[in-house]
C-alpha cells in the first residue's frame, strides 16, 4: 500500500515556484556575459535599491551559509566577537563558516527566550568582555535572525533598539534574513523599515526557503562594508560564472511581490496549524509569528501522523514531546486540514 508523504520537515523540502522556474528557462535563451556582467545581474542593484528605498550593493551567492559568513566577515575583525542567539543558525548550523571567513572571530551565543535577543541579555553578555584587553576578543557585531530559529519575529522597534545599543558600543548589525519574506509579511512593514531605517548594516537576503532554487544575496546598506566584498566573495568560491540563472530567480521572486505572496501563504498555513494545535490542547513552545511551529505532541499522536505519511522533525529543545513543523509556499490547505483531522 502506497502512502502519500506530506512534508512539514522544512521549507527547503519544497519545490521551486513556477514563476521562478519559468524565469530560469527564459534566462537560458541565448548567451550572456559571465561573472555578473549580464544584464539581469547588473540590473539587480537598481531593483533592490528600489525595494529598500536606499542605494544598496548586491552580491549574489549560492547559499545562505555563504551570505551569512561573508556578511559577518565584513562586519567583524578576526579578533572580534559576534553576539548572536545561542540557537542562531550562524552559531549552530554553519559548520564554523563564519569563524573561517572572518579569519577567526568568535561567535558568542547569548541565551534568551524564544530565539530573540533582548537589550537585557545583550548587555549581560557584553559585560563579560574585558574591553581594550589585548588578551580577549572584542565585541564587534550583533547578528539577528529574522525570522528567528524559534519561528518568532523581531518588531521594527526591537530591531531599532538593539541596533542603537550596538552603535553606542561601536558594533555593527547583521541580519540573517533566510526567512526575511516571512518576517516582512508577518510585520506588515516595508523592507526598509525593518533593515537600514532601523539600523541594520548588512542583510543576508534569502529566497531559497521561499520558492527559489538557489538564490541568496548579501545586501549592503553601508558602502564601507561593501568595499572588499567582491574579493571576499571570489575568495570564498561564490562568484557565480553563469550568474544570470541566479539573478533571474531573484527578478521573478520580487516581480509582482511573489516573495510576499509565497511568504503570506506559508505564514497563513502555520497560523492555522497553531490555532488547531492550541484548540487540541497541545502546547506551543514559542509564539508562531512566521512559518515554523514548535509543538509538544504526545508520542502516540506523532506516530499516528507519521504512519499516515506526514513528515516532521522531533525537536528536543522544545521540551518533552517537542516537534518542529515548517510550512512552505507548497503547503496545501488540504494537507493542513488532513493533519489537523488526524491529530484530533
Residues 250-283: tens digit of each pLDDT: 999 999 999 999 999 999 999 999 999 999 999 9
Rounded Cα distance between 228 and 111, Å, is 33
Query: What is the tens place of the pLDDT at every residue in 48-60?
Result: 999 999 999 999 9
- CATH number for the domain including 320? 3.90.1150.10
Give yes or no: residues 265 and 211 share one domain: no
Same domain, 243 and 308: no
- Boundary (domain end) residue, out of 200, 228, 256: 256
Number of domains in the chain: 2
- Residue 34: give its domain's CATH number: 3.40.640.10
Pairing of strands 80-85, 106-110: parallel
32 and 149 part of one domain: yes
Looking at residue 226, its pLDDT comes to 95
Assigned domain for 1 exists: no
Q: Which helix (H) or strand (E) holds 108?
A: strand 106-110
Domain limit, last residue, from 256, 281, 300: 256
- 65 and 141, same domain (yes or no): yes
The answer to whether position 107 is within a domain reads yes
Question: Is there a single domain that holds both residue 117 and residue 148?
Answer: yes
Q: Please indicate, yes or no, if residue 114 is contained in any of the structural domains.
A: yes
Q: Is residue 339 part of a domain?
A: yes
Q: Going along 238-306, which residue ranges are E strands? A: 283-284, 292-296
C-alpha distance from residue 291 to each of 77, 153, 155, 213, 321 (Å): 34, 11, 16, 19, 20
Which pLDDT score, from 0 to 100, does residue 5 have? Answer: 85
Cell numbers placing 73: 566577515
SS3 70: helix
**Nearest CA to 196 among 171, 160, 144, 152?**
160
- Same domain as 314, residue 209: no
Residue 168 lies in a domain: yes
* Pair 228, 332 in one domain: no
The whole domain housing 143 covers 18-256
329 & 198 share domain: no
Assess whether 33 and 59 both reside in one domain: yes
Say yes or no: 88 and 26 in one domain: yes
Q: Give the residue from 256, 275, 302 where a domain finishes.
A: 256
CA angle 148, 152, 155 (to 5 degrees): 100
CB 291 within 8 A of CB 182: yes
φ, ψ of residue 78 to 5 degrees: the values are: -60, -25
The answer on 193 and 336 residing in a single domain is no
Distance separating alpha carbons of residues 266 and 182, to the nearest angstrom? 8
Indicate whether 246 and 273 sit together in one domain: no
177 class by beta-carbon count within 10 Å (0-12 exposed, 13-18 middle, 19+ buried): buried
Question: Does a structural domain hold residue 199?
Answer: yes
Q: What is the mean pLDDT of each run of 10 residues along the chain (344 residues)?
A: 83 96 96 96 97 98 98 97 97 96 96 97 96 95 98 98 98 98 97 98 98 97 96 97 97 98 98 96 96 96 96 94 97 96 94
For residue 273, tell me if it sits in a domain: yes
Amino acid at each position: 500500500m502506497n502512502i502519500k508523504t506530506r512534508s512539514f520537515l522544512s521549507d527547503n523540502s519544497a519545490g521551486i515556484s513556477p514563476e521562478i522556474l519559468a524565469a530560469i528557462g527564459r534566462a537560458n535563451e541565448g548567451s550572456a556575459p559571465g561573472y555578473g556582467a549580464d544584464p539581469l545581474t547588473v540590473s539587480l542593484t537598481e531593483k533592490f535599491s528600489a525595494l529598500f528605498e536606499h542605494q544598496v550593493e548586491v552580491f549574489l551567492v549560492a547559499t545562505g551559509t555563504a551570505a551569512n559568513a561573508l556578511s559577518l566577515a565584513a562586519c567583524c575583525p578576526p579578533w572580534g566577537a559576534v553576539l548572536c542567539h545561542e540557537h542562531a543558525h550562524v552559531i549552530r548550523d554553519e559548520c564554523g563558516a563564519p569563524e573561517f571567513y572572518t579569519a577567526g572571530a568568535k561567535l558568542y551565543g547569548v541565551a534568551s527566550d524564544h530565539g530573540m535577543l533582548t537589550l537585557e541579555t545583550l548587555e549581560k553578555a557584553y559585560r563579560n568582555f574585558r574591553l581594550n584587553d589585548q588578551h580577549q576578543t572584542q565585541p564587534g557585531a550583533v547578528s539577528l535572525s529574522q525570522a528567528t530559529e524559534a519561528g518568532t519575529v523581531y518588531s521594527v522597534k526591537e530591531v531599532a533598539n538593539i541596533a542603537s545599543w550596538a552603535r553606542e558600543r561601536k558594533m555593527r548589525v547583521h541580519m540573517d534574513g533566510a526567512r526575511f519574506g516571512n518576517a516582512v509579511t508577518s510585520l506588515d512593514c516595508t523592507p526598509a523599515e525593518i533593515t537600514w531605517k532601523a539600523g541594520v548594516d548588512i542583510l543576508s537576503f534569502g529566497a531559497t526557503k521561499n520558492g527559489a532554487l538557489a538564490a541568496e544575496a548579501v545586501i549592503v546598506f553601508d558602502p564601507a562594508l561593501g568595499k572588499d566584498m567582491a574579493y571576499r566573495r571570489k575568495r570564498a568560491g561564490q562568484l557565480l560564472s553563469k550568474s544570470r540563472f541566479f539573478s533571474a530567480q531573484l527578478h521573478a521572486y520580487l516581480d509582482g511581490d511573489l516573495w510576499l505572496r509565497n511568504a503570506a501563504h506559508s505564514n497563513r498555513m502555520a497560523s492555522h496549524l497553531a490555532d488547531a494545535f492550541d484548540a487540541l490542547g497541545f502546547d506551543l513552545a514559542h509564539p508562531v509569528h512566521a512559518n515554523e511551529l514548535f509543538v509538544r505532541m504526545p508520542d502516540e499522536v506523532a506516530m499516528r501522523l507519521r504512519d499516515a505519511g506526514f513528515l516532521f522533525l522531533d525537536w528536543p529543545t522544545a521540551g518533552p514531546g517537542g516537534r518542529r513543523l515548517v510550512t512552505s509556499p507548497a503547503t496545501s490547505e488540504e494537507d493542513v486540514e488532513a493533519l489537523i483531522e488526524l491529530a484530533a
